[in-house]
Structure 1
Amino acid sequence: MHLALAIALSAALFTVGVYGVLVRRNAILVLMSIELMLGAVNLNLVAFDLLHHDRLRSGQVLALFVIAIAAAELGLGLAIVLLVYRNHGTIAIDAVRDHADRDPATVDRAS
């Protein structure tokens, strides 16, 4: 596979991920879009590692670190989403943001 093809595919994946983060209102879809962007970064790391013929395979090692960090981020993100759903009854980002912007003195204690 040529480097230009890998970069083009990575750019397309990253662009779709950025679009998903900016447009989506569902927290789960935003997390999926972030994972898509991290996958695009991994593709670039491995492609440039193969281009430079590094003896230590630094790009592939960095890709493994990104995968580990992505797994931790996904676990923590899903835990936060479940907690928000349990407290607010929705995972829509706008609804949660509107609820957080309210003045705590005026919020009814029953809700």
Structure 2
Amino acid sequence: MIPTSYYLILSALLFVVGMVGVLVRRNALIIFMCIEMMMNAVNLIFVALANQFGHLEGQVFVLLVMAVAAAEVAVGLAIVIALMRHKDSTNVDEINLLKW
């Protein structure tokens, strides 16, 4: 059996990689993928701790987070497609359509 600490370390590494990707990259699609990676890192923590403590609440919460992630992807991709119609770039530094 694999110790829970291994899952927590893996999750922390995934979260850090996602956070660095959000902070460093300027492409909107890559930023969305990094946010999804961060959400999946948190899901891994929930599942690992639910398994360790023998409760199902963590796994139920993972299903809720996955539903929110699916909605976020749908809305995010719709925004990116709408922006691509006006500009040829998904660089977040060049996007000023939402400013007043």
Pick the TM interval, shorter chain.
Answer: over 0.9
Normalised by the length of structure 2, the TM-score is 0.93
Where does structure 1 lack aligned partners over 5 or more consecutive residues?
105-111
2:83 paired residue number: 84
Please tell me the root mean square deviation across aligned C-alpha atoms, in Å: 1.4
Deviation (angstroms), 1:51? 1.0
Structure having greater relative contact order (Cα 8 Å, sep ≥ 6) = 2
**Structure 1 segments (4+ residues) deviating >2 Å:** none
**The structure with more radius of gyration:** 1
Q: CA–CA distance in 2 between the matches of 1:78 and 1:26?
A: 13
Normalised by the length of structure 1, the TM-score is 0.84
2:69 paired residue number: 70
Alignment of 1:1-111 (within 5 A): 1-54=2-55, 57-97=56-96
Deviation (angstroms), 1:100? 6.0
Deviation (angstroms), 1:88? 2.1
